[in-house]
């Protein structure tokens, strides 16, 4: 008798146990066996993020929803690393791999501890709904802080490193499963996401919005993808045949599972008005490739199958992908077989991870301006620390965060950094939002008394964030009366240093013109205050770079709901920014020489090697971020002004030199035509290598060298290679 004849019967192996519990059998056979034993109602129950246990089959309850954007989130004490935008500001994908490895160690340790305690609720599982590889195309978007910035290449490199660090390198099991999100063409407005249609042409789609997802799937081997709330070109993303079937599964060969964003499938009939009923909505989602529903709406799949809107075989396909993931996480094998199950709980919030969080925070610091006032002398006698983010835990954490067991604010770190002879006084001066200037008097008095005023301002994850939790910003200037406070402190004549905490670009035009030094610190995590103080007082030489453009005003940008890339991000922006993408200063200087291309002429479809020599020409050691930009000078269609196609963060002692090498592949040289095809055309290309973009620099942050090469032959298509 087979399982199809009687779903309550078991097909047993010779060992006397069900085939799906035999770890010696092939994975597909085990999955097939398990799914074949389920009733229709049991199958449907397993397509919900809160999947109940099935006692007769020995399937434990499992909730698929977990978060680890910059540390294990929402599950108690965990190491809190800098927010994702700060991770990107390190421009160090090797470091991001270390961070993701530490996060996944903590996720594993927490999961097994929860299981030992009989807890199988939300935020306790091993399917992590991270990273967010959407493109941060507009600074108003509240969730931009969750991304790796505005550039497809930087996002791809950081995203791949994060996915690999999460999933581990065991040949049989995944440490956790990574779920890049939100697929695709998703970046606000938050208030409209449940009904909004993001309309893009094929060129923008493939040139900007899809590359990071393709890299995460093909190179990162991400085992899950989360859809977006919005429609893309008319199709709800969580039920889009174009995205989920044609591109993700067929074109890219993705064989993992797809999960909806939470309650997004209900939007199909409630807000998008694509279908009329919940039964039609779930049928559309499942038939087009969404395997798992965050929420409860997939309960209607029972009706959808019975009404003939969904074939049970289609449901079985989704179930097999879902249980394949659970098997690959070792959930049905003896723990002693799964190396990751042996990670001790003590790894959570351990000293090594705290040190890594501090290292990452230091590397994320971006020095936007310095007229020579930094670094400060630790023997300075009187210091005023002013501003609403100077002693604010929220400003360290961002969103989707864990809870640090200990943390250090900028105020605390500054107090511990200076000499015992120094006196540090503090006042907030004002709130982040609101019109009250009641604290201005105390702030001005402290600044007048002090030798230096360190003003810590910006925003927090409570103010910019997801719909219902901050949301988007209507303006990108400093909020409330913060700029007025900054002006009042500056008017005392005391030297002022501005420290900006935010998850996005802020238009600090007045500060750029008047304040001697400005440090962008993002949401720097649990020990962000220490990292800030280390930079201010010279114990760490900043080397971070901007992963986004800082615009002067919203007048420079198209409407927020316009998803066309014209005049957005450094690749298409033709105006002058406040600070350009890739910008960041140092306490030392770097020189570039001997830019060498292996060939001056190549055939279409060939790689080309690029080398440059970098020297620390200053007096202190430091990190330089070597950036390579490529421009197609003779393209047959409009192309980006320039595109980042290589970067390396290197450490150099004074006088030390290093040769840095890059390989440019056909995929990187290719343009995207109007049909969305990526092709390499014959013609001239410009390579620019330096510590910044070849134009739009703010300050002496490194020379840029350029060289040209020519591609000959017939145009060829270019596929993603790694």
Whichever domain contains 699, its CATH number is: 2.60.40.10
> 609 and 713: one domain?
yes
pLDDT at position 257 over 80? yes
> 294 and 255: one domain?
yes
Q: CB-side exposure of 362: number of CA atoms within 13 Å? A: 18
pLDDT at position 12 over 80? no
Computed on alpha carbons and rounded to an integer, the radius of gyration of the chain in Å comes to 26
Please give the Cα distance from 301 to 216 (Å, whole number).
Answer: 30
Helix (H, G, I), strand (E, B) or coil at 594: strand
DSSP letter assigned to residue 267: H
Cβ atoms within 10 A of the Cβ of 609, count?
Answer: 12
* pLDDT value of residue 301: 98
Q: What is the pLDDT of residues 370-416, one digit of tens each?
A: 999 999 999 999 999 999 999 999 999 999 999 999 999 999 999 99
> 204 and 244: one domain?
yes
* pLDDT value of residue 16: 75
Among 546, 572, 598, the domain boundary falls at 572
Q: What is the mean pLDDT of residues 687-707?
A: 76
The alpha helices in 40-122, defined as continuous H runs, are 40-45, 84-89, 93-116
Cβ atoms within 10 A of the Cβ of 717, count?
Answer: 13
Q: What is the pLDDT of residues 650-682, one digit of tens each?
A: 999 999 999 999 999 999 999 999 999 999 999
Give every CB contact of residue 403 below 8 A, 6+ residues apart in sequence. Answer: 76, 77, 78, 80
pLDDT at position 1 over 80? no
Helix (H) / strand (E) element for 259: namely strand 257-259
Identify which has the larger pLDDT, 700 or 695.
695
> 214 and 238: one domain?
yes
Give every CB contact of residue 474 below 8 A, 6+ residues apart in sequence. Answer: 140
Please give the Cα distance from 462 to 474 (Å, whole number).
Answer: 15
Q: What is the pLDDT of residues 225-250, one digit of tens each?
A: 999 999 999 999 999 999 999 999 99
> 373 and 278: one domain?
no
> 543 and 596: one domain?
no
Residue-wise over 32-58: b if at least 16 C-beta within 10 A, else e? bbbbbbbeeebbbbbbbbbbeebeebe
- Among 464, 527, 534, 632, which one carries the catalytic annotation? 464
The band of 703, judged by pLDDT with boundaries at 50, 70 and 90, is: confident
DSSP letter assigned to residue 136: -
> 367 and 334: one domain?
no
* pLDDT value of residue 695: 75
* pLDDT value of residue 3: 35
What is the domain count for the chain? 3
Please give the Cα distance from 49 to 52 (Å, whole number).
Answer: 9
Q: What is the pLDDT of residues 126-176, one digit of tens each?
A: 999 999 999 999 999 999 999 999 999 999 999 999 999 999 999 999 999
> 635 and 528: one domain?
no
> Residue 349 has which token pair?
């919030």
Please give the Cα distance from 473 to 479 (Å, whole number).
Answer: 10
Burial class (CB in 10 A: 0-12, 13-18, 19+), 14: exposed
Phi then psi dihedrals of residue 689, to 5 deg: -130, 130
Q: What is the mean pLDDT of residues 420-438?
A: 97
Mean pLDDT, the chain, integer: 96
Please give the Cα distance from 633 to 686 (Å, whole number).
Answer: 7
* pLDDT value of residue 696: 43
Please give the Cα distance from 559 to 522 (Å, whole number).
Answer: 25
**Residue 40 domain flag:** no
**Residue 202 domain flag:** yes
User: Of 446, 437, 461, 438, which is closest to residue 411 (Cα–Cα)?
Assistant: 446
> 263 and 380: one domain?
no
DSSP string for residues in 13-43: -TTSSBGGG-TTS-HHHHHHHHHHT--HHHH
> Residue 521 has which token pair?
């610190």
In the annotation, is 261 catalytic?
yes
Q: What is the mean pLDDT of residues 39-54?
A: 98
The band of 317, judged by pLDDT with boundaries at 50, 70 and 90, is: very high
pLDDT at position 708 over 50? yes
* pLDDT value of residue 8: 38
User: Of 705, 458, 476, which is closest to residue 577 (Cα–Cα)?
Assistant: 476
Please give the Cα distance from 235 to 238 (Å, whole number).
Answer: 8
**Under a CB-based contact definition with an 8 Å cutoff, are residues 244 and 188 in contact?**
no
> Residue 231 has which token pair?
């429609």
**Residue 671 domain flag:** yes
> 280 and 370: one domain?
no
Please give the Cα distance from 695 to 592 (Å, whole number).
Answer: 16
Which residues are bridge partners to 629 per DSSP? 644, 688
Please give the Cα distance from 263 to 353 (Å, whole number).
Answer: 34
pLDDT at position 493 over 50? yes
C-alpha torsion angle, residues 553, 554, 556, 561 (rounded to 10): 160
> Residue 20 has which token pair?
């799906």
E strands in 598-642: 601-603, 608-616, 622-632
Tokens 């900043």 belong to 542
* pLDDT value of residue 59: 98
- Among 151, 190, 261, 673, which one carries the catalytic annotation? 261
Q: What is the mean pLDDT of residues 33-46?
A: 98
* pLDDT value of residue 699: 36
pLDDT at position 9 over 50? no
- Domain holding 384, by residue range, is 363-572
* pLDDT value of residue 6: 35
**Residue 581 domain flag:** no
Give the domain CATH number at 369.
3.40.50.1700
For the chain, give percent helix, strand, coil, nearest 5: 30, 20, 50
> Residue 2 has which token pair?
């087979």
Cis peptide before 178 (omega within 30 of 0): no
**Under a CB-based contact definition with an 8 Å cutoff, are residues 404 and 80 in contact?**
yes
Phi then psi dihedrals of residue 586, to 5 deg: -140, 165
pLDDT at position 700 over 70? no
**Residue 543 domain flag:** yes
Give the domain CATH number at 253.
3.20.20.300
**Under a CB-based contact definition with an 8 Å cutoff, are residues 386 and 440 in contact?**
no
**Under a CB-based contact definition with an 8 Å cutoff, are residues 533 and 410 in contact?**
yes
DSSP string for residues in 352-375: HHHHHHHHHHHHH-EEEEESS-PS
Q: What is the pLDDT of residues 498-515, one digit of tens each?
A: 999 999 999 999 999 999
Q: What is the pLDDT of residues 268-312, one digit of tens each?
A: 999 999 999 999 999 999 999 999 999 999 999 999 999 999 999
Residue 411 C-alpha from the chain's centroid: 28
> 200 and 330: one domain?
yes
pLDDT at position 14 over 80? no
Please give the Cα distance from 225 to 184 (Å, whole number).
Answer: 10
* pLDDT value of residue 254: 98
Measure Cα distances from 342 to 97, 113, 326, 346, 472 in Å. Answer: 21, 11, 17, 11, 42
**Residue 32 domain flag:** no
Query: How close are the terminal C-alpha atoms of the chain, in Å?
Result: 48
Which of 542-551, 571-580, 688-697, 711-720 shows the lowest per-residue confidence on average (mean pLDDT)?
Answer: 688-697
* pLDDT value of residue 622: 98
**Residue 398 domain flag:** yes
> 465 and 519: one domain?
yes
Q: What is the pLDDT of residues 188-207, one digit of tens each?
A: 999 999 999 999 999 999 99
Please give the Cα distance from 588 to 582 (Å, whole number).
Answer: 17
Helix (H) / strand (E) element for 574: namely none
Helix (H, G, I), strand (E, B) or coil at 507: coil
**Residue 170 domain flag:** yes
Please give the Cα distance from 435 to 21 (Å, whole number).
Answer: 64
* This prediction's pTM: 0.97
Give every CB contact of residue 610 below 8 A, 6+ residues apart in sequence. Answer: 595, 596, 597, 598, 628, 646, 661, 662, 663, 664, 687, 689
**Under a CB-based contact definition with an 8 Å cutoff, are residues 697 and 224 in contact?**
no
Please give the Cα distance from 201 to 706 (Å, whole number).
Answer: 32
Please give the Cα distance from 577 to 189 (Å, whole number).
Answer: 23
Give every CB contact of residue 24 below 8 A, 6+ residues apart in sequence. Answer: none
Helices then strands, each counted (H, E), the chain: 20, 26
């Amino acid at each position: 008798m087979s399982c199809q004849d009687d779903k309550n019967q078991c097909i047993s192996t010779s060992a006397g146990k069900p085939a799906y519990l035999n770890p010696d059998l092939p994975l597909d056979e085990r999955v097939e066996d398990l799914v074949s034993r389920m009733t229709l109602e049991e199958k449907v129950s397993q397509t919900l993020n809160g999947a109940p246990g099935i006692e007769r089959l020995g399937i434990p309850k499992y909730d698929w929803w977990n978060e680890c954007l910059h540390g294990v989130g929402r599950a108690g004490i965990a190491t809190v690393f800098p927010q994702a935008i700060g991770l990107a500001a390190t421009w160090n994908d090797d470091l991001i791999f270390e961070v993701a490895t530490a996060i996944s160690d903590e996720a594993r340790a927490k999961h097994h501890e929860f299981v030992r305690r009989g807890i199988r609720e939300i935020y306790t599982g091993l399917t992590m709904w991270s990273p967010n590889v959407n493109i941060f195309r507009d600074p108003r978007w509240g969730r931009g802080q969750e991304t790796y910035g505005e550039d497809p290449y930087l996002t791809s490199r950081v995203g791949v490193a994060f996915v690999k660090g999460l999933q581990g390198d065991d040949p049989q099991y995944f440490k956790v499963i990574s779920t890049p999100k939100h697929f695709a063409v998703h970046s606000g407005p938050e208030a409209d996401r449940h009904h909004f249609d993001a309309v893009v042409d094929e060129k923008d789609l493939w040139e900007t919005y899809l590359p990071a997802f393709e890299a995460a799937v093909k190179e990162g081997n991400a085992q899950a993808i989360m859809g977006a709330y919005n429609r893309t070109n008319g199709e709800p993303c969580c039920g889009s045949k174009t995205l989920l079937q044609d591109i993700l599964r067929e074109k890219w060969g993705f064989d993992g599972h797809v999960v909806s964003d939470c309650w997004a499938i209900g939007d199909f009939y409630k807000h998008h008005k694509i279908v009329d009923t919940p039964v039609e909505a779930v049928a559309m989602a499942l038939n087009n490739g969404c395997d798992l529903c965050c929420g409860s709406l997939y309960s209607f799949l029972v009706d959808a199958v019975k009404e003939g809107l969904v074939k049970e075989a289609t449901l079985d396909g989704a179930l097999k992908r879902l249980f394949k993931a659970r098997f690959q996480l070792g959930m049905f094998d003896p723990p002693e077989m799964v190396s990751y199950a042996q990670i001790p709980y003590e790894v959570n919030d351990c000293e090594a991870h705290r040190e890594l969080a501090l290292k990452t925070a230091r590397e994320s610091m971006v020095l936007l301006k310095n007229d020579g006032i930094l670094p400060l002398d630790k023997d300075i006698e009187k210091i005023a620390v002013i501003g609403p983010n100077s002693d604010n835990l929220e400003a360290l954490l961002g969103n989707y965060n864990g809870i640090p067991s200990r943390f250090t604010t900028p105020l605390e770190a500054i107090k511990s950094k200076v000499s015992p002879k120094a006196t540090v006084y503090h006042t907030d001066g004002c709130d982040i939002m609101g019109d009250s200037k009641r604290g201005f008097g105390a702030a001005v008095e402290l600044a007048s008394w002090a030798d230096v005023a360190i003003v810590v301002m910006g925003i927090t994850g409570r103010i910019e964030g997801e719909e219902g939790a901050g949301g988007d910003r209507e303006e990108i200037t400093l909020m409330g009366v913060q700029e007025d406070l900054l002006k009042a402190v500056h008017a005392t004549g005391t030297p002022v240093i501005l420290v900006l905490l935010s998850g996005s670009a802020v238009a600090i035009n007045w500060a750029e013109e008047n304040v001697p030094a400005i440090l962008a610190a993002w949401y720097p995590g649990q020990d962000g205050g220490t990292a800030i103080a280390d930079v201010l007082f010279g114990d760490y030489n900043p080397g971070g770079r901007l992963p986004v453009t800082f615009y002067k005003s919203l007048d420079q940008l198209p409407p927020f709901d316009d998803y066309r890339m014209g005049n957005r991000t450094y690749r298409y922006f033709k105006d002058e920014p406040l600070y350009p993408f890739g910008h960041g200063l140092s306490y030392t200087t770097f020189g570039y020489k001997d830019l060498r291309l292996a060939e001056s002429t190549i055939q279409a479809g060939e790689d080309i090697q690029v080398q440059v020599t970098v020297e620390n020409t200053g007096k202190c050691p430091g990190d330089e971020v070597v950036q390579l930009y490529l421009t197609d000078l003779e393209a047959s269609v409009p192309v980006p002004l320039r595109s980042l196609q290589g970067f390396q963060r290197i450490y150099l002692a004074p006088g030390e030199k290093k040769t840095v090498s890059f390989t440019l592949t056909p995929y990187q040289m290719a343009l995207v035509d109007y049909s969305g095809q990526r092709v390499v055309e014959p013609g001239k290309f410009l390579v620019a290598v330096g510590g910044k973009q070849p134009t739009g620099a703010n300050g002496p942050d490194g020379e840029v060298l350029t060289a040209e090469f020519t591609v000959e032959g017939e145009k060829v298509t270019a596929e993603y290679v790694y």
